[in-house]
């Protein structure tokens, strides 16, 4: 039985771009074929468009407390923004309460999403306090549908900061439990000291956010996390790789055959340390961690994507308003909430800077936005692929659409956009989630609450195997 045929488009998979139709029965794709019989199914003509698997964003922070404030986007506005950018699944970070259990974190975050999310979602747990009880709890995460935990090596002085001791033990436990560890790799000790020194000198402006988190701070922690993973014989995902020096450490690990995954993010390609130094307090709009870097890093990062050393392209969407939130750090850059909105622009930014420039093939585009995301985040088979049997999450991509980005045309709930005034090329014309039209022509159609929680399970790759 076929309900719906998307006909006349070009199907883009990791393997190839080919003229084919996509047949959908209920929530699933049932066939990919040439001139598929329609048998009374609804036929949507998608001529001229590219059909891609719904994009997965393994790195978002919705409705999350940070430094005494809450992200500007909750699950309603945040997932609407993601959907408008072609994303049909996110994996968001539930934060362990320092006194709480991991299950409670998951439950809390499910509650935040409940009735609000427009798209499907999974949940990571960020460990903030690795007590003996928590150690015993980790192996039960897969039963909750959680296949990933996150450790922060940065943010010394907050509960997020984790010492090597706990990172190493978490890696050991995770290996046994079939759980993948994600790591925010910056040396928190050094940053804390450099921040203290900067403030003591009176260097309080946003650009000192970047100057107190130099590239070597990230490179060091990246190597350390990798080494601890190797010692624990555990896979690892290094998130938001921002600079060549950190990537070099990942490349070394791959040459050794280690199962290290890596994510990079659009902001490191669209913006730079020059934005952090914008006049007045404008730089605060560009404060995220790791910080925006000198553009000389980009060539290396592009090569990292091309060579498969960087596997996924996540947004690290973590939005704060300029007014009232970013402004908390007017006199002290360390008080600026860290994070940028970007869930909506994620795919278009890669199309603009990567595909249009010839740096990224359509296949690589799909790999880092969908297929590799699914593999790493435990969703393969269901999400991330236009294949028979998979959920019918489909992006109908208009490769020539151009968007003049301005805050007013964004779907999220932030009072600014770092992309203000930029032109992006390539955007979803429409998006289907589990067979239903969820977005078309700028309008979010999937109702709040229509997204489902996804139980994920991580499968360790063949020894030392690359993602594919």
* Footprint (CB under 8 A) of a copy of itself, residues 31-90: 31-37
Q: In this chain, which stretch among 70-78, 118-126, 414-422, 458-466 interacts with a copy of itself, using CB under 8 A?
A: 458-466
Cβ closer to a copy of itself: 318 or 369?
A: 369
- The binding track of 135-174 with respect to a copy of itself, each residue x by CB under 8 A or -, is ---------------------x------xxx--xx--x--
Least CB distance to a copy of itself at residue 197 (A): 8
Q: In this chain, which stretch among 118-126, 127-135, 247-255, 403-411 interacts with a copy of itself, using CB under 8 A?
A: 247-255
Least CB distance to a copy of itself at residue 389 (A): 5
How far is Cα 140 from Cα 149, in angstroms, rounded to an integer?
12
How far is Cα 78 from Cα 421, in angstroms, rounded to an integer?
21
Residues 193-222 that bind a copy of itself (CB under 8 A): 193, 214, 216-217, 219-220
Least CB distance to a copy of itself at residue 463 (A): 5
Judged by CB under 8 A, the residue of 43, 107, 203, 227 near a copy of itself is 227
Least CB distance to a copy of itself at residue 194 (A): 8
List b or e across 166-202, with b for residues whose CB sees 16 or more CB atoms inside 10 angstroms.
bbbbbbbbbbebebbbbbbbbbbebbbebbeebbeee
Cβ closer to a copy of itself: 98 or 464?
A: 464
Which among 265, 296, 279 has a CA at the least distance from the CA of 207? 279
Residues 385-424 that bind a copy of itself (CB under 8 A): 385, 387-390
Tokens at 250, concatenated: 């990942």
176 belongs to the binding site for a copy of itself (CB under 8 A): no
Least CB distance to a copy of itself at residue 90 (A): 21
Cβ closer to a copy of itself: 230 or 455?
A: 230
Least CB distance to a copy of itself at residue 52 (A): 13
Cβ closer to a copy of itself: 359 or 440?
A: 359
Cβ closer to a copy of itself: 179 or 301?
A: 301
Cβ closer to a copy of itself: 153 or 414?
A: 153
224 belongs to the binding site for a copy of itself (CB under 8 A): yes
Cβ closer to a copy of itself: 302 or 333?
A: 302
Least CB distance to a copy of itself at residue 92 (A): 25
Which among 91, 178, 89 has a CA at the least distance from the CA of 126? 91
Residues 319-378 that bind a copy of itself (CB under 8 A): 358-361, 363-364, 367, 371
Residue carrying the six token digits 């968007």 = 403
How many whole angstroms from its chain centre is CA 430?
A: 21
Q: What is the DSSP string of 287-350?
A: --SSPP--GGGHHHHHHHHHTTSS-EE---B----TTTTGGGGTT-GGGSPP-B--TTTHHHHH
How many whole angstroms from its chain centre is CA 431?
A: 19
CB-CB contact of 238 with 154 (8 Å) = no
Judged by CB under 8 A, the residue of 40, 202, 280, 463 near a copy of itself is 463
Least CB distance to a copy of itself at residue 358 (A): 5
Task: Give me the numbers of helices (H) and strands (E) for the chain, helices first please.
Answer: 14, 21
Which among 105, 177, 180 has a CA at the least distance from the CA of 135? 177
From residue 44, alpha-carbon distances to 6, 206, 217, 364, 441 in Å are 5, 49, 51, 26, 15
Cβ closer to a copy of itself: 52 or 446?
A: 52
Residues 9-28 that bind a copy of itself (CB under 8 A): 13-16, 18-20, 23, 28
How far is Cα 154 from Cα 164, in angstroms, rounded to an integer?
11
From residue 261, alpha-carbon distances to 58, 155, 240 in Å are 13, 22, 11
Residue 256 gets the label, from left (phi > 0), alpha (psi -120 to 50) or beta, of alpha
**CA atoms lying within 13 Å on the CB side of residue 272:** 6
Beta-strand (E) ranges in 405-464? Answer: 423-433, 436-440, 443-444
Which among 146, 174, 140 has a CA at the least distance from the CA of 58? 146
Least CB distance to a copy of itself at residue 44 (A): 18
Least CB distance to a copy of itself at residue 324 (A): 33
Cβ closer to a copy of itself: 367 or 454?
A: 367
| Residues 6 or more apart in contact with residue 307 via CB below 8 angstroms | none
Least CB distance to a copy of itself at residue 351 (A): 13
Task: Give the bridge partners for 184, in sequence order.
Answer: 152
Least CB distance to a copy of itself at residue 435 (A): 14
Residues 275-304 that bind a copy of itself (CB under 8 A): 299, 302-303
User: How many residues belong to the site for a copy of itself (CB under 8 A)?
Assistant: 73
Cβ closer to a copy of itself: 98 or 468?
A: 468
């Amino acid at each position: 039985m076929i309900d719906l045929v998307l006909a006349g488009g070009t199907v883009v998979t990791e393997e190839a771009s080919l003229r084919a139709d996509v047949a959908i029965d209920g929530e699933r794709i049932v066939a990919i074929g040439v001139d598929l019989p329609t048998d009374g199914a609804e036929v949507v003509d998608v001529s001229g468009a590219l059909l891609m698997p719904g994009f997965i964003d393994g790195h978002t922070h919705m409705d999350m407390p940070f430094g005494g404030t809450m992200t500007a986007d909750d699950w309603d506005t945040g997932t609407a923004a993601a959907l408008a950018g072609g994303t049909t699944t996110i994996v968001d970070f539930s934060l362990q309460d320092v006194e709480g259990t991991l299950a409670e974190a998951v439950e809390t975050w499910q509650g935040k999403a409940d009735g609000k999310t427009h798209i499907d979602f999974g949940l990571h747990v960020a460990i903030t306090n690795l007590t003996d009880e928590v150690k015993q709890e980790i192996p039960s995460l897969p039963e909750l549908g959680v296949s990933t935990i996150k450790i922060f090596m940065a943010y010394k002085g907050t509960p997020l900061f984790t010492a090597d001791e706990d990172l190493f033990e978490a890696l050991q436990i995770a290996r046994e439990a079939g759980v993948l560890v994600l790591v925010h790799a910056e040396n928190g000790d050094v940053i804390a000291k450099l921040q203290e020194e900067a403030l003591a000198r009176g260097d309080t402006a946003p650009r000192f956010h970047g100057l107190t988190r130099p590239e070597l701070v990230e490179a060091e922690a990246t190597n350390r996390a990798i080494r601890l993973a190797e010692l624990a014989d555990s896979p690892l995902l290094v998130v938001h790789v921002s600079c060549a020096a950190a990537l070099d450490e990942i490349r070394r690990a791959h040459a050794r055959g280690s199962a290290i995954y890596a994510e990079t993010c659009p902001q490191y390609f669209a913006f730079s340390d020059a934005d952090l130094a914008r006049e007045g307090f404008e730089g605060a709009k560009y404060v995220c961690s790791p910080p925006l870097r000198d553009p000389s890093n980009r060539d290396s990062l592009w090569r990292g994507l091309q060579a498969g050393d960087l596997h996924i392209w996540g947004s690290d969407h973590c939005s704060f308003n300029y007014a009232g939130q970013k402004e908390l750090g007017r006199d002290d850059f360390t008080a600026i909430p860290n994070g940028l909105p970007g869930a909506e622009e994620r795919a278009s930014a890669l199309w603009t800077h990567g595909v249009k420039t010839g740096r990224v093939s359509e296949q690589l585009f799909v790999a880092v936005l969908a297929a590799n995301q699914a593999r790493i985040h435990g969703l393969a088979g269901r999400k991330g692929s236009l294949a028979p049997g998979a959920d019918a999450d489909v992006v109908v991509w208009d490769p020539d659409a151009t968007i003049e980005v301005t805050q007013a045309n964004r779907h999220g709930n932030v009072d600014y956009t770092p992309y203000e005034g930029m032109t992006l090329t390539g955007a979803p014309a429409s998006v289907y989630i589990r067979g239903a039209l969820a977005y078309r022509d700028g309008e979010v159609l999937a109702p709040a609450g229509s997204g489902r929680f996804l139980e994920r399970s991580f499968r360790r790759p063949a020894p030392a195997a690359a993602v594919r």
